[in-house]
Structure 1
Amino acid sequence: MQARVSDARAPGFWPLAAVFALFVLFMYGPMAVIFVLSFQGPEGGLTFPMRGWSLHWFRQLAEGLGTVDIGAAFTRSLMLGAVVMASTVVLSVLAGLAFRKKLGGGNALFYVTVASLIMPSIIVSLGIGLQFRLLDGGLKWLLEAVGATTTLEEYGTALGLFTSALGAHLTWTLPFGLLIMFAVFNRFNPAYEEAARDLGATPWQTFRHVVLPLIGPSVVGIGMFGFTLSWDEIARTSQAIGDVNTLPLELQGLTSTVTTPAIYALGTVTTVVSFAVMGLTVGLAMWLKKK
């Protein structure tokens, strides 16, 4: 009798389960629809019903969508995501190590770092874009003042993929990485480091052979955050990218000009890349944890 009572569902279980199911449908339903419609046949459109099944729109995507070079935008996003990922990992780990000790002005530095999370992304992008345009004006004035006319004529802008766009993305990824490292080091037992030092290990050896293996899964997670947040970022990139576009910006622009399922094929490809990175990260984190 007691077992039956304990196994019975609480009165609020099914309403909460229904709300959760609706939430999952709301979150992943559009993704599933886009994935399915991207496999429309050559006569297919942007809505149901399906008109055959094929890889026609993926082939058209590979050939290009009008004047937009999808391959170049894809490569730019991959390169930027990789650099953002590496920068986020390195800076987050170094900041986490620094904040383990009492740091003069550390509280102010922390609040300044995480403040970008609550600021509107478009404002951050506009500010960075304006800053680099002011830098352009200063550099041009300096080149003109020193008489470097040839360099002045060849100079374009400091706005670019690995300058302003990189900085814009780091204002988004670094706070997450820093918060993760704070959580990791708050649970870290310093006795392991003390034991390594007692055995004669140098600070670098202690970090490499003791600290890094223990925090390795979390570092991999920071890398995943860095890449995926950069991979699909639009607002912070829009005013800070310069003369080129990343893949999300091209995708946003194509939504108003492309009226075929090729746009869905592009969305499917970008989603698959995101899931592949997350799967790789989870696998690597589990392997490191097991090791």
Structure 2
Amino acid sequence: MPQRRSRSFWPLAVLFGMFLVFLYGPVATIFVLSFQGPAGGLTFPMRGWSTHWYAQLWQGLGTVDIAAALRRSLALGTVVMVFTVLLSLGAGLAFRKRFAGSDALFYGAIGSLIMPSIIISLGIGLQFRLIDAGLKHLLQALGAEGLLENYGTSLGLFTSALGAHLTWTLPFGLLIMFAVFNRFNPAYEEAARDLGATPWQGFRHVVLPLVAPSVVGIGMFGFTLSWDEIARTSQAIGDVNTLPLELQGLTSTVTTPAIYALGSVTTMVSLLVMALALLLARLLGRRAGKARA
């Protein structure tokens, strides 16, 4: 016999539905308005349906090079994802055994989660400007006038911006990896060693396949958090912009649905990465389950 629902089910279901509408309603609204006709505006009612503003987006929005900003965001997100996965996995393996200073290192690594993002961005930007001043002073002292004239700044996409994004993505990766290894059964590794496997073979053929779904999840977090980040990037990226920074700047100058088209594209990229990551994690999880059996 099917179990009857309690009286509180429907009020709670309605409340949860209202929460979902509140959470995703703005995204859905922007997505719909991005398909306004050529004469459409930023609000309802719709004035026709078309992909005009998506075509306008790829033609460029004034002086802003959307394609270049998109490439920069994709490149930075990919590098941040790789570093987050490698550092989180390495730290997870290292912290399986306690060592001197492990507590201080752990709290220092995740401390950036409680710091205001703009403060971290300002601090990293100031740090790299001090590096610039030091390098220029050194070049001047060495008499390297040619290098000094050609030197710009150490602030950049894969220097200061990369560091700023890692202060955001790495703590999430560490917490996930620590939770995974906290539940990891070391009997699998012991069995591999009993069968003559080297430490590398044990990691490659036993540990990594079992934690692979979580590693994929860390990669997803690394990319999506970097892809959408604004505050930690704003003061630390130098003289170029990522796509979210361009989108933020365009909100005060663009008065057509092209801004909604750009927002929809960025959202679709995030959703696509999440879908691919979930699919890959599910496939790896099934393979790990077969390996345990």
**Under a length normalisation based on structure 2, what TM-score does the superposition of the two structures give?**
0.96
Query: What is the CA distance between 1:13 and its match in structure 2?
Result: 2.8
Counterpart of 1:232 (choices 225, 228, 235) is 228
Task: Look up the match of 2:147.
Answer: 151
Give the aligned partner of residue 118 of structure 2.
122
Residue 109 of structure 1 aligns to which amino acid in structure 2? L
Q: What amino acid is aligned across from residue 180 of structure 1 in structure 2? A: I
Question: Which residue number corresponds to residue 28 of structure 1?
Answer: 24
CA distance in 2, matches of 1:269, 1:56: 14
Q: Distance in 2 between matches of 1:22 and 1:114?
A: 33
Correspondent of 1:164 among 160, 179, 190: 160
Q: Within 5 Å, which residues of 2 pair with 1:238-253? A: 238-253=234-249
Secondary structure in structure 2 of the residue aligned to 1:142: helix
Alignment counterpart, residue 66 of structure 1, candidates 62, 68, 79: 62
Identity of aligned residues (%): 76
- Runs of 4+ in structure 1 deviating by more than 4 angstroms, as ranges, are none
Rounded to whole Å, the distance in 2 between the matches of 1:35 and 1:246 is 21
- In the TM superposition, what whole-angstrom CA distance separates every residue of 1:1-49 from its partner, at most 9, and x where no partner exists? xx69x51423x33332232122111110000000000000101000001
Among 268, 271, 277, the residue aligned to 1:275:
271
Rounded to whole Å, the distance in 1 between the matches of 2:36 and 2:98 is: 59
Matching residue of 2:179: 183
Of 263, 281, 284, the residue aligned with 2:280 is: 284
Residue 9 (str. 1) matches residue 6 (str. 2): yes
Q: Distance in 2 between matches of 1:93 and 1:126?
A: 29
Comparing 21-30 with 84-93, greater Cα deviation is found at 21-30
- Do residues 212 (structure 1) and 181 (structure 2) align? no
Question: Separation in 2 of the partners of 1:85 and 1:181?
Answer: 14
- The offset of 1:253, in angstroms, is 0.1
Distance 2:104 2:285 in 1: 34
Per the alignment, residue 76 of structure 2 pairs with 80
1:125-181 superposed Cα distances (whole Å, 9 cap, x missing partner): 000000000000000000000111100000000000000000000000000000000
Q: Deviations over 1:91-134 (max 9, x none)?
A: 00000000001121000011111110010000000000000000
Distance in 1 between residues matched to 2:71 and 2:138, nearest whole Å: 34
1:195 matched to 2:187? The reply is no
Q: In the alignment, does 2:96 pair up with 1:105?
A: no
Shift, 1:289, TM fit = 1.1
Which amino acid in the other structure matches residue 85 of structure 2?
V
State the distance in 2 between where 1:23 and 1:154 align.
Answer: 55
> Aligned partners of 2:70 and 2:5: how far apart in 1?
52
Deviation at 1:290, TM superposition (A): 1.4
Query: Take 2:201 and 2:222, find their aligned partners in 1: how far apart are those partners?
Result: 27
Which of residues 255, 259, 283 is equivalent to 2:255? 259
**Counterpart residue identity of residue 274, structure 1:** S
Residue number in structure 2 paired with 1:45: 41
Counterpart CA distance in 2 for 1:68 and 1:8 is 55
Q: What amino acid does structure 2 have at the position aligned with 1:7?
A: R
Count matched residues. 287
TM-score normalized by structure 1?
0.97
Name the SS of the counterpart of 1:117 in structure 2. Answer: helix
Structure 1: distance between partners of 2:5 and 2:117 = 47
Instruction: Report the Cα distance in structure 2 between the residues aligned to 1:64 and 1:36, rounded to whole angstroms.
Output: 21
Give deviations 1:259-291, integer Å, cap 9, x for gaps: 000000001100110000000001111111112
Measured in 1, the distance between the counterparts of 2:232 and 2:18 equals 31
